[in-house]
Structure formats: structure tokens, C-alpha cells
Chain A
Amino acid sequence: MRRRRKLFGGGPPPTEFSQAQSFSRRSFLVNSAQTGVAVLLAARMGYIAIGENERYRGLAESNRVHTRLIPPRRGWIVDRHGQPMAINRADVRVDLIPDFIQDREKLLADLARILALPPAEVQRIRAELERDQGFQPVPVAEHLNAQQYNMVKVHEPDLPGVSVLEGFARFYPEGAAVGHLLGYVGTPNRREYEAENRNPLLITPGYKVGKEGLEKVMEQRLRGRPGQARVEVTARGQLVRQLQTLPDVAGGALHTTIDAGLQSFAARRLGEESGSCVILDCASGDVLCMASMPAYDPNAFSDGISHAEWDMLSSDPRHPLINKTMNALYPPGSTFKPAVAMALMEAGVDPDERVNCPGGYQLGSRRFGCLGRHGPMNLHTAIARSCNTYFYTMGRRIGIDRFAAMAKRLGLGQRFNELPVVSQSYGTIPDPAWKQRRYHQDWSQADTLNAAIGQGYVILNPLQLAVMAARIASGRDIQPRLILERRPQSPVLPFAATSFEAVRSGMDEVVNGAGTAGASRLPFPDIRMAGKTGTAQVRNIVDASRGRAGAAWRYRDHGLFVFFAPVGAPRYAGSVVIEHGLGGARAAAPVACDVLTYLFDKDRAMERLRAHEAGWGGTLAERTARRAAEWANRPPGAPPPPPPPVPL
């Protein structure tokens, strides 16, 4: 019974003595166990503090020290004379670091009050915070004024997550005049960030990369090297102290071939028109001006434009978002004739051979029209008067292959691979092989006739027309270039000097003789401009008002003009295209005349420009601001702005 009540084990029942002994034994055991724990703790601590010391020291350091990148100052973009076209201005910006934000709504309310943010901006910030990508900062405001800066700086300790940065912002003194040429900068998007292997610089607050134009293509050259600021922070991200700073290395200046004054003048001279003006240096191929108007203001784009601005730009029928010097294609019309004339001369056509122009050309049952009854025409007069009949006849005689090859040799339909641009549309110089490839159709004589006067399948961009003019003017195989650097002179084109002379003198006659552009002579007794007008059909219909002044703006013909100057010793060549300008002589040649005047006599050109601008209702900047205000205040649901008034 006693045994049953016992829990475990046998042996005699414990006595007081055996119990005391057992206590000593067990107490010794407990003591040893306690010592064991102490030894274990000591060993463990030794292992952590000595064995893994290096690793944990590194972890403590990376806890404590944050390396903040200092965005490098972006290299300037300057023109051929060193005049800045894209610079950096000191700027203060505010960003939010999502990880450190404690009370989002309170913070947004405080910021809206301090910075006077409009509700739409607060909404945007909230939306961006909601699709927060971890550590990526959300921009709040840029270009703070001194008062706002002080306000934010005073409140910064109470606004966890707010980062106030003194940095630099891109500024383009010429504004819209250089929009398409230089492009703009903007906050990198996810794709750009990943394309650079998640370069941490790209998610540094305030850092911007080139998004268009030269800013984008020359990004690596303009970027420079970021500096580093090592700062000690607490777990909540508060700055404890600045440890050391490695200064940034500013990006190198980019010297372009552009003449900033000329670029700005050309942009202003295009006025309310939708068009472009390209001027090259004949000898080197330097692009002196490449204006496309209307254009967006790269300053506005670099700050991030509002919805209203974007709507206004994208609904404008004059396409301010398209660079019309390279990304718009036009049938060259009669501006193609100098290239055909070069081909005729090289094919051995006697320039004095006469073709009678009865006002058109009969091909079987089809009649191909001319703009007038010119009577007997030779190469010289046919260029000067722009006689289609002569070019139908002679073009058909030598055949499409010969003059298409010449056109390509003169740069038409070509892509200029060395040009640092985001994209160029290079159009078409058609030939039988191309038509077979494209349409699976045989080439017809009618196609040859159309191509001979720059219509039909021929479409080109204005830059190519300028290159053509420059190659004819210089006789050299010049390549357009935008970056100023030493390069060997372009090789001479393998054509007879007499061929060039014949075509040049025809083009001289266009402006300075009995030609189509007699109204656009340069206002100098000793400097003459040579050129060729062109009118490109927009609507391929034959009716009384085809492309004429009475038609709606968007159905009117494009006006084109190619030119070089001075005759005799050409220095400049170029092209002007005015969309829906009705005709080359009427719309394009006067622009070319004024722009060339600027190159020879700035004061006289500015005087004429001011007279024009007075008629248009103010300078470019004034008109742009007025239009933006009208757009912003338009009644909701109003139709897009009407096409601009065209001086008739």
C-alpha cells in the first residue's frame, strides 16, 4: 500500500540525513548548471563580439550611415559662339520620402498650407504616394521662393518625410525656340531606371534625365559624376550630422553648331505659321539653325507640365509636339527640280535644248498640267519659272533611275546617321524597285512624270532639302552635324562643275531674275540669294479651289523654299517649309529672305521682325502666354482652339 502511493523508484525511503545529502548534491548540480549558463553566455558574447565583429560592425555602419547622392550639375549646352542655350539655375525643391511619413493626411494638409498647393496638386501627390515604390521620393514642389523656402525649412523637423533640397534646375533661355532642338529633361521613369541597372542616381530626389532632343541623345556626356554626402541618421531618418562630402563633377559643356541668335530669330520669324526653317553652313555641314514652330516650351516640360498645358499642345492643329525639321514629311514639289536638273546635266542633256511648254504634257490620254504656258524653255529658264513641262519631258527622257539616284546622292530620302537626334523620318525617293517592293506594282511613265516635279510618291523632310541645297551650293558631300568638332572637309561630289553652275545659275534667276521668288531678294546690293520655290499639294483633288486661299486652312497647299547665299561664294544653304502656306514664293521665300538677312545684318533683320510681330499681336512669348491663358479660361467642353489666322 505504501509502495503504491509512492511515485517512482525503489530504494529505502529518504531520511533527514539522506535528504540533506541529496540537497547538497542537487544544489551543486544547480550551481554547475548556473555556471554553465554563464559560460554559455560568455562564449556566445565572445563569438558575437569578436568572431562576428567585422560583420556586425558593417551592419551597424550601414544602419547609421546613409550615403546620399548629390546629383551632378548637368553640362551646359552652348551654341557655336559659346552662348548658353541650356543652363542650370539654383533651385529649391521639396520631395516626400514615403518610408518616413508618419501621418500622411496631416502632412499633406500642412504642406498644402505652407506651400499654397492647389487641390489638384495635393491629389496628384496623394495618388503618387499610394502607388509608392518604396524609397522613391515623390516630388511636391519646385522653384520655391525665399518665403516658401523659409517656411518649409522652419517646419521641416515637425514634418517627417519631407526633404528640402537645394539643387539646380534646367533652364533654357530661348524657351520654345529651342524646344525641338534641345528637348527637355524630366524625372526618370521606371523603364529608364531599369535600363540603367537601377542606377541609384536616377531615383535621387530632383535628378532629371534628358527626355528628348539633344538632352536625351547626349545624356551620358551631359550627366557628369554624382557627388556623395555621407550622413549619419537615426532609425527615423533624422539627420544626426554630416560626415563627409565628395563633390560632384559637373557634366561637360556640349558645344553645338547652332547659332543661338539665328535659331531664336528663325523661330520668331516663323510667327504664327506652322513650319520649319533649317540653315546649314555650306562648307562644313554645321546646322546653324533648326527651328520648328510652334513648339513646346522646354522649361515648362522640364518642370513637368500640367494636364491643361498638355491638352492645349496635343489638340493644337499646328502640331507643336512634332519636330517638323525631321519628323514631318512633305512632297517637295518644285523644290525637287534642282536635283532633277543636276541629273539632267550629268545625263548629258544639253542645257540649251529647248522644250516648248503649251501649258501641259500629254502622256497617252492623260494630260499632266503646268502652272502656265511658258513657251520654249531651256534648263535655266525652266528652273527660274518652275516649268513642269520641261521637267516632264526631260525627266522622262533620262528615266526615273537616273534622277532618283541623283536625288539620293544629294541627301534626299536619306537618314543622317551621325546626327544626334532621337528620331528622323527620312521619307521616300521612289524608283521601280521601291514600287515593286512597296506596292507590288510595275513602275509607270506617269509615276516618272509625277516624280520629276517632286510629287507622287516623293516625300522628304525639310532637313534633307537643306542638305540638297547645301550640296548643290558647295559641290561637296557635306553631312549635317549638330556637335561642334574638328572634322576633315567633306569630299567633293563627283559631278561636273558645269552641272553645278547650270543649276546654281537657274536658282539665282529664281530670286534675282525673271523667276518665281523675285519678291524675296536680299536687301543688299552685293549679296544675292539663290533658291527654288515649291508648292506641295495637300489634297489630291482637281477642283477649282484646290489648295487655294479659299480652302479651309488644313487643305491648303504647303509652301516650300530651298536656298543658298551668297551666290558666287555660297556660305549658307537651307530650307523653309510653311505648312498650308499656299505657295513657296508666297509663304516660305520671305522667311528665308529675312533669316538670311539676319546673318548679314542683324539690326535690319530685327527691325523687320519687330514690324511683323507688331502685326501678329506681340512677341512669341507674349502670344504664347495669351494663348495659354485663353485655353485655361475656356468654358468646359469648348472645342479646341481655332486654327491660327494666316496672313493672306
Chain B
Amino acid sequence: MALAFVPKPIARLPWTALILVISIASIGMVGLYSTAPGGNGGLMPYALPHAMRFSIFLVMALAMSYVKPERYSEFVFVAYVGVILMLFAVMVVGEVNGGARSWLNLKLIRIQPSELMKPVLVIVLARFYAGVPPREIKRWSAIWPAALMVGFPTLIILMQPDLGTAMLITCCTILMMFLAGLSLWLFIGGLAAIAAAMPIVFSLMMPHQRERVLIFLNPEADPLGAGYHITQSKIAIGSGGLFGKGFLNGTQASGDFLPEPHTDFIFAAIAEEWGLVGGLFLILLFALLLRWGMRVSRDARTRFEKLAAAGMTATIFFYASINLLMVMGLAPVVGIPLPLVSHGGSAMMTVMICLGVLMSIDRNTRRDEWRR
């Protein structure tokens, strides 16, 4: 390494990824500081807990990076069964929060098993497809076991009901199947089928469901009702302009016009104060983090590692992009926070687990370089 005086264990840390996630979380902290109730900013109740939570998860992710990827592969089915059991437990004794029964109170911490399910499923799929012989990959036998393993927990999550998480898992699964080498026709045909089914589904919808779709397509038609979130979010982003209104000068968030400025709509609150420049910088940081993730996947030695790294990256990607598309009015409003930036531990935990596994794969890949 270039800086010879730096001790090896430190020099060998994946600094690119660490700098990126620390930057993203710091931006989140700044944004959360300014969305504290009262309009004058403050460390409480959002910014400081955010920073503390991030520090804990960062230590956890670094610890995970020292575990060899094979270990994850070995223990994943135990984890899978465990999380399934937790999902069942949630159905019985779960706590309702934000309309969905998805929280499990374990006294010490409250967790959402559905969040844990995301990285677990990625590893399950990676292990499954790593085990499918190349000749078998285009057969039914390469689809139904995976579909079953994903479909079962997804169904439970849908029943909570947590549409956002279910959607995220489904997207992630499809992406991994695509990378695993399933026939291209499956995806082309699937897309065509969805496109063809859209008008039919729309005609079968109930009037209120149809209305919701129409409001998504044109939110300003109902600025005070269902379109309120999107409208206010776009006002926040749009009124920020190129350089923003300045730190603590946002009026959309402090005036309570922007709903959920500390969770789902944190990006709008940040863009209002830091403008297009601040927003693009945040998008760039996410893009670089994803590029790093895809590079880890590309450089990985084994098929399991490649697939797992790609799946973990995809999880982060879907999280961030669905949230950003929603905030900018390009996707319907589903309750998905912006990972590492929004207040709240679940999404951060998921993303940091993904990061931990990615760093573990990265370390495994580079271990050979270091030996040379």
C-alpha cells in the first residue's frame, strides 16, 4: 500500500465503502438536525440517536467483515428458519406501528423481522443458485425452490401488511434470478405480460383504487388529499433551487407542510435547504457506493460470493431508488425510508448488514492479493 507507515489491519479496511457510508450518514445527521421539531434544529430527538445508532451498526458491519463468506453460506438456513419463526411470532405478539403489525419487542430492542429477512433471502438465493449446476439453470427446477423460499416469507410480510418490504424483496429476487442466468425470455415475457395486464387490471380495480393510481399519475389534482405528500415534497425540492435555502432555513419541513420530514421525506427536506447541489451530491454518494458494491460482486471469486454481493448491492439500490423516485413523484407513495439518512433503525440495520457481508466478500477477494 502507498502509505507504508499505516498499520496493515487499518490500511486493509475497505476505505472507499467506509468513507461513502460515513458521508451518507453524516448528511443524514445534518438533515435530521434541521428537521427537529420547533423549527430551529437540534440534536434531539433525531440527529443524535441517528449518529449513535449508526456508530453501533458500523462496528457491527466491520465485525461482520471479518467473518468469512462461507460462514454466512453455512449458517444461512438456520438464520432463515429463525427469521421465519420470528415472522410467525410477530403475527401473534407483534406490535402495530404505522398501520402494519411488523414489530417484535424483544425487551432489549425492538426489531422488524421483515427487515432481517432481506439480507437472509439474498444469501439463501445466492447459495441456492451457486449450487444449481450450469446445465440445470434453465429448467423449472432452478425456479420453483427459489420461488418457494422467497414466496413464503413474502406472503407473511404481505399479510402484516407491509407492501413496501414485500415489493422490495420481490424486486431483489427477480434481479438475482436474472444475474443467476435464468432464461432471458422469462424476463422479457414477464415484462410483456405485466404491460399487457395493466389496462385489464385497471379496468377491474375498485373506484377508490383507480383514484389512487390516477393521483399517483397526477398528484396535483388532489393537492390536499392523497396527493398532498407528493405535492409538498416537490414544493420542497423545487423551491430549494440550485443552492438551496440554507441550513435551518427550510420552511416546508419546519412549517410542518412536508409530512414525515425525518423519515420517508428526508431527502426533500435536505434538498430544500441544500438545493440541487446538495441533492445531487447525495445521489452521487449512493451511486458510488453501489458501484463499489457491484465491483465487489464482479471481482469476487466464487459464484456464491458474486451473487451474494450483487444481491446485497441490489437491496441497497432498491431501497434508495424507490425512496428517491417516490420523493420526486416518479413512484407511488410507499413507506420506504432512505437508508442511512432517514431516522429509524430498521432500514439502517438492513443496509449495514448488507455492507458487512459485502465487506466480508471484499476482504475474502483481496486476501489473496495480500498473500502475494
Which A residues lie at the B interface, using CB under 8 A? Answer: 5-9, 13-16, 18-20, 22-24, 26-27, 30-31, 34-35, 37-38, 40-42, 44-46, 48-50, 52-53, 55-57, 59-61, 63-64, 232-236, 240
22 contacts between A and B (CB under 8 A): A5-B140, A14-B134, A23-B303, A27-B298, A30-B294, A30-B314, A34-B294, A34-B317, A41-B325, A45-B271, A45-B279, A45-B328, A48-B238, A48-B328, A49-B237, A52-B238, A56-B239, A57-B239, A59-B239, A64-B255, A234-B256, A236-B256
Which residue from B143, B181, B239, B314 sits with its C-beta under 8 Å from A53?
A: B239
In chain B, positions 308-358 with a C-beta closer than 8 Å to chain A are: 310, 314, 317, 321, 324-325, 328, 330
Which B residues lie at the A interface, using CB under 8 A? Answer: 39, 134-135, 137-140, 143, 175, 178-181, 183-186, 232, 234-242, 251-252, 254-257, 271-272, 275-276, 279-280, 283, 286-287, 290-291, 294, 297-298, 303, 306, 310, 314, 317, 321, 324-325, 328, 330
Contacts A38-B283, A56-B237, A60-B239; is A44 near B139 (CB within 8 Å)? no
For the complex of A and B, 5 pairs with smallest distance between CB atoms: A56-B238, A60-B239, A235-B256, A49-B276, A8-B183
Contacts A8-B183, A49-B275, A50-B276; is A63 near B257 (CB within 8 Å)? yes
CB distance from A520 to the nearest CB of B (A): 73
Contacts A41-B324, A41-B325; is A48 near B234 (CB within 8 Å)? yes
Which residue from A5, A26, A57 sits with its C-beta under 8 Å from B181?
A: A26
- The reply to whether A16 and B134 contact each other, CB–CB distance below 8 Å, is yes
B256: which A residues are within 8 A, CB to CB? 234-236
Which residue from A7, A24, A53, A55 sits with its C-beta under 8 Å from B298?
A: A24
CB distance from B261 to the nearest CB of A (A): 11
Chain A residue nearest to B328 in the complex (CB): A44
Chain A residue nearest to B143 in the complex (CB): A7
B297: which A residues are within 8 A, CB to CB? 27
A38: which B residues are within 8 A, CB to CB? 283, 286-287, 321
- The reply to whether A26 and B179 contact each other, CB–CB distance below 8 Å, is yes
CB distance from B103 to the nearest CB of A (A): 28
In the bound complex, how far is the Cα of B314 from the Cα of A40, in angstroms?
17
A-B contact count (CB 8 A): 159
In the bound complex, how far is the Cα of B306 from the Cα of A139, in angstroms?
71
In the bound complex, how far is the Cα of B179 from the Cα of A20, in angstroms?
10
Chain A residue nearest to B240 in the complex (CB): A49
- The reply to whether A30 and B138 contact each other, CB–CB distance below 8 Å, is no
- The reply to whether B291 and A7 contact each other, CB–CB distance below 8 Å, is no
Chain A residue nearest to B228 in the complex (CB): A235
Which residue from B234, B242, B314 sits with its C-beta under 8 Å from A50?
A: B242
B291: which A residues are within 8 A, CB to CB? 31
In the bound complex, how far is the Cα of B183 from the Cα of A7, in angstroms?
8
- The reply to whether B185 and A9 contact each other, CB–CB distance below 8 Å, is yes
- The reply to whether A14 and B138 contact each other, CB–CB distance below 8 Å, is yes
Contacts A27-B298, A41-B325; is A235 near B237 (CB within 8 Å)? no
- The reply to whether B238 and A57 contact each other, CB–CB distance below 8 Å, is yes
A19: which B residues are within 8 A, CB to CB? 134, 137, 181, 303
Contacts A14-B138, A44-B328; is A64 near B242 (CB within 8 Å)? no
In the bound complex, how far is the Cα of B138 from the Cα of A34, in angstroms?
25
In the bound complex, how far is the Cα of B271 from the Cα of A232, in angstroms?
21
In the bound complex, how far is the Cα of B330 from the Cα of A79, in angstroms?
69
- The reply to whether A49 and B279 contact each other, CB–CB distance below 8 Å, is yes
CB distance from B341 to the nearest CB of A (A): 14
- The reply to whether A63 and B235 contact each other, CB–CB distance below 8 Å, is yes
Chain B residue nearest to A20 in the complex (CB): B303
- The reply to whether B252 and A60 contact each other, CB–CB distance below 8 Å, is yes
- The reply to whether B242 and A63 contact each other, CB–CB distance below 8 Å, is no
CB distance from B362 to the nearest CB of A (A): 16
CB distance from A108 to the nearest CB of B (A): 25
CB distance from B208 to the nearest CB of A (A): 25
- The reply to whether B276 and A45 contact each other, CB–CB distance below 8 Å, is yes
A20: which B residues are within 8 A, CB to CB? 303
Chain B residue nearest to A60 in the complex (CB): B239
Known: A5-B139, A30-B175, A61-B239. 18 other contacts (CB 8 A): A15-B134, A19-B181, A23-B180, A23-B181, A26-B178, A26-B179, A45-B283, A48-B237, A49-B237, A49-B276, A50-B276, A52-B238, A56-B239, A59-B239, A63-B232, A63-B255, A63-B257, A236-B256
